[in-house]
Amino acid sequence: MPDRGGGPTGPRIRVGRPSRRVRTLLMTLGVLAVLAMAFVMFAGFWTDWLWYRSVHYSSVFTTTLWTKIGLFFVFGLLMAAAVGVNIWLAHKMRPPLSAMSMEQQSLDRYRMGIAPYKRWLLLAITSLVGLIAGASASGQWRTWLMWVNGVPFNQKDPQFHLDVSFYAFDLPWYRFLLGFGFAAAVLSLIAAALTHYLYGGLRITSPGARATAAATGHLSVLLGIFVALKAVAYWLDRYGLAVKSSDFKATGNWTGLRYVDANAYLPAKTILFCIAVICALLFFATLWRRTWQLPVIGFGLMVLSAILIGGLYPAIVQKFQVQPNEQAKEAPYVEKNLKATREAYGIDGTDVTEYPGTSTTKDKAKLRDDADNAASIRLMDPNVVSPTFQQLQQVRNYYGFPSNLDVDRYSKDGKDQDTVIGLRELNLQGIPKSNWINDHFRYTHGYGVVAAKGTEADSEGRPVFTEYNLPSRGDLGQYQQQIYYGEKTTQYSIVGGPQKEIDYSDDSGEKTTSYKGKSGVSLSSAVNRAAYAVAFGEPQILYSGAIGDGSRILYNRTPKERVEAVAPWLTIDGDAYPAVVDGKIQWIVDAYTTTNGYPYASRTTLGDTTADSLTAANNQRAVVAQQNQVNYIRNSVKATVDAYTGQVKLYQWDTKDPVLKTWMKAFPNTVESKDSISPSLMAHLRYPQDLFKVQRELLTRYHVKDAQTFLSGSEVWQIPDDPTNKSGDAVPPYYLSMKLPGQTSQAFSLTTTMTPNGRDNLSAFMSVNAEAGTGDYGKITILKLPTGRTVDGPKRVQSQFNSEPSIAESIRLLRGGDSEVEYGNLLTVPLDGGLLYVEPVYVRGGDLKYPLLRKVLVTYGGSTAFENTLGEALNKVFGANSSTVPPENEGTTKPPTSNNPTVQEALNDAQKAFDKGQEALKKGDWQSYGEAQKDLEDALKRAEDAQSKADKTTGGSGNNADKSSDNADKSSDKSSGGG
């Protein structure tokens, strides 16, 4: 209010409006917030692009990106246009005058409220539905690429005689288009109906007609489009029957037509297609008739027909035609399922051979010799001895081994040796002081290979290392030992800059290095540093002085992670394994192409089928599946990842696989030809475990070829639980060099056993030739045991081991004190019509925190042995040392010395050896401990020999001596357990 005295007025105060400075500040903050959000999104995009470029697979990134962008815009715009045009049409068709009613008066307020914002509202609605539809469509990039690049299988389904590629590549895309069409029709119908209602074209309570002629025609056309799409759906459903899943007691997850599908659902779908076409035409006819009567009747008839023809009629056929005579009705379709499933999983060439399960050879000496040649029996279980590798070859706390080691073959002096191998990878939990510089700049890599013979242990039960120490040396020669990429290397490192890295330490002190490889992404650019600081949530990347010229950031460092990133269309095997190839450590990764659209082939769930007692304990062994439910699988790609440079190479392995050919068209120049695989790399390739596990699961049912037997379920097998532990999970397959019946030499194989459904006796022994580059590679052989006679399976054999009184007592003594007994892999080896079971037994106890091989369990033909070495156990089982052992000496071992001291003298020597061993154990003198153990074993054998001779002389008396011998045995076992 002005001053009534006429003096100058004060400044005007504008209440509620911020000053120009505040408005400028708020606007600046808003712009900065938008720029920050934009940079966060840009950082993710930019770092991905830089990574793909660094591994030389930028075409994968660009092809995937442009495909997603194209699908997003095309289908987003189509959906926005469909909804927007129908809203516009409904608005344009609004009646010029609204009826005078309470309903319309209420709507007038809404019409007036949105009138100034109609264009903005239309834009917002269409943008929203377009964004949702575009985002959904961009997720179908695999479906689009497979459709547009599809290669024929040159195999036709037995029902419609269409190429399998129609079901694998075409049908999924058609179904997506159909689903998109349904969504567009429904959203357009809803949007048009709401617009008509808002502007008076549709009335609920107003007097007069419920809909104007324009609204009736418009909505009828939309309903006609919906019903026409339903007709298309019925037609596609006919073909979908060939890949339809259904539970069937004889086959599990059945895929394909059954009797009721071919004779009820198929004709029903054809009839419903015709009815839907007629119904759609009736809806379109309302453009001229302007009445809902006929289309509504037609729609009602279509719904009723769907219930009666599509639901009730097939149920009647199933109930009254199929169930009374199911085997006869279903047999022709089961035969199609059998053939298709065996082809789709690559098990159609499986050789099923009858195997007696018992030996008929009486010459025990010959059997003993044959046992040595039947297999290179692995005593070092790669799933048990990792702690032993860790304790004996870790060298520094910041190194570590995976919990499950790998089995490979290496040649020495022209002879292949099964080898247990592991890499000394970086273990950040063991570094002396954890901080950002140590974790990401100084401790960046592991160092060296550690390998041991799979078939031997030293006198103390430790592995016989063929590659050992730091730096590693041994049989593998010279190779690049730094390991920058590995299974345990899960975080980023920044290398090559001013900060030196710890290479390794030896007696002369700590050695440093600087990464010389070209892997990773350069951080010389400020933009790159800022992008990675945002992407990794680590601002120090932006300003740290430890980053300078030459600095490169390494990430995505596990082999499976890298292969999956460069080939997102592959399913990755759960077990990557290392090999020394041409002076470099290479990770070898098996990869699969899959589809769930192979007609008539039953589906399997990869996550469940590939699970076993190892994957349950080690999640790193789980399969990385792009498609969990599949009914076609091929090991089409062998990939390698260089442990130093991180270089990824993909090699075409299955040259006939149409799925791989399709992806090679979509991503040209990403997969190298099979001819590019060098002989040195070929020597280390093997048959993959996950594929074998899928195939063995299918072969529990699909080993039979007769439909009647298949339907009866009498020949259904199962994968036994792992008997060596209490996990309750399936026994894993084992790699083993072995000789099958009829073969002249050993071949590197992958083996497993099968038991009858719900029982523990053995049904079959299954193996596959795992030696790449050989003519029989991939050949699956099943030795089928007779059904009329019980042959012990793995669980029964393990139970026999545990229930044998002498063995049970020995195991109890081995567990004495704080010792633990661990069972190794229970290996099964076919031998002369029978089955030889071998299981190493490890003990960890006392001050030792790692397992040592102490005993070997062997059984054959009902005879069981529990001895210190495999040779001794085989001798006892077969009752012979060699083919030169005279018959009268079968079942005994040759005394270690020619003289025969008294029992008491021998037991006194045993006590002295035991005391000496315990004293050496306390001092940690392993050499003296091993010598004492040998002396103890020698003394006990002499006591046993002396007692045996005394028994022959005295008629078996000598109880006091027996008691003394038992006490000495217990002392011996206790000593072993303490070690």
CA dist., res. 365 & res. 699, Å (int): 36
pLDDT higher than 60, residue 106? yes
Could you give the CA distance from residue 711 to residue 700 in angstroms, rounded to a whole number? 13
The per-residue pLDDT for 798 is 87
pLDDT over 50 (residue 261):
yes
Q: Is pLDDT at 6 greater than 50 in this prediction?
A: no
Helix H or strand E segment including 747? strand 747-756
Average pLDDT over residues 652-659: 95
Cβ(342)–Cβ(702) below 8 Å: yes
**605: pLDDT strictly greater than 50:** yes
Query: 881, 859 in Cβ contact below 8 A?
Result: no
pLDDT of 393 strictly over 50: yes
**Which tokens go with 739?**
């000789």
What is the pLDDT, as a whole number, of residue 153? 94
| pLDDT value, residue 11 | 47
| Choice between 469 and 911, residue whose per-residue pLDDT is larger | 469
pLDDT at residue 233, rounded to an integer: 95
Pair 572, 623: CB distance under 8 Å: yes
In this model, does residue 926 exceed pLDDT 70? no
Sign of CA dihedral 204, 210, 215, 220: positive
The pLDDT score that the predictor gives to residue 98 is 60
> Region 391-416: what's the mean pLDDT?
88
Three-state SS at 254: strand
pLDDT in tens, 786-830: 887 888 888 888 888 888 888 888 888 887 777 788 888 899 999
Distance from C-alpha of 889 to C-alpha of 868, rounded to nearest angstrom: 20
Q: What is the mean pLDDT of the chain?
A: 84
Look at residue 278 and tell me whether its pLDDT is greater than 70: yes
**Confidence at 614, pLDDT banded by 50, 70, 90:** confident
pTM of the model: 0.83
pLDDT band at 174 (very low <50, low <70, confident <90, very high): very high
Indicate the pLDDT class of residue 880, thresholds 50, 70 and 90.
Answer: low
Res 885: pLDDT: 37
Measured distance CA(637)–CA(685) in Å, rounded: 11
∠ Cα 388 389 392 (to 5°) = 80
Reported as a pLDDT band with limits 50, 70 and 90, residue 964 is very low
Dihedrals phi, psi of 594, to nearest 5 degrees? -140, 160
Q: Distances from the Cα of 789 to the Cαs of 191, 357, 640, 754, in angstroms?
A: 72, 9, 47, 15
Share of the chain above pLDDT 70, in %: 86
Give the pLDDT of residue 311: 85
Q: What is the mean pLDDT of residues 221-243?
A: 94
Over residues 33-60, the pLDDT tens digits come to: 887 788 788 888 999 999 999 999 999 9
Q: How confident is the model at residue 4 (pLDDT cuts 50, 70, 90)?
A: very low
272-300: average pLDDT:
85
Where does the pLDDT of residue 893 fall: very low under 50, low under 70, confident under 90, or very high at 90 and above? very low
910 C-beta neighbours (distance < 10 Å), count: 26
Contact indicator for 554, 520 with CB cutoff of 8 Å: yes
Which pLDDT value is given to residue 532? 93
Can you read off the two tokens belonging to residue 627?
């498609």
791: enclosing H helix or E strand: none
CA 231 from centre of chain: 40
pLDDT at position 354 is 92
Q: Given a cut of 80, is residue 111 above it in pLDDT? A: no
The reported pLDDT for the residue numbered 895 is: 33
Q: Please report the pLDDT score of residue 274 as a whole number.
A: 94
Q: What is the C-alpha radius of gyration for the chain, rounded to an integer number of angstroms?
A: 37
Q: Which of 66, 83, 247, 75 is nearest to 177 (CA)?
A: 75
Q: What share of the chain is helix, strand, coil (3-state, %, to 5)?
A: 50, 20, 35
Residue position matching structure tokens 């009498």: 714
**pLDDT at residue 421 above 90?**
yes
Predicted confidence band of residue 115 (pLDDT cuts 50, 70, 90): confident
**pLDDT tens-digit series, residues 487-545:** 999 899 999 989 999 988 877 778 889 999 889 999 998 999 999 999 999 999 998 88
Confidence of residue 677 (pLDDT cuts 50, 70, 90): very high
Highest mean pLDDT among 113-117, 856-860, 937-941, 961-965: 856-860
Rounded to whole angstroms, the Cα distance separating 404 from 824 reads 12
State the virtual CA torsion across 31, 35, 38, 42 in degrees, nearest 10: 170
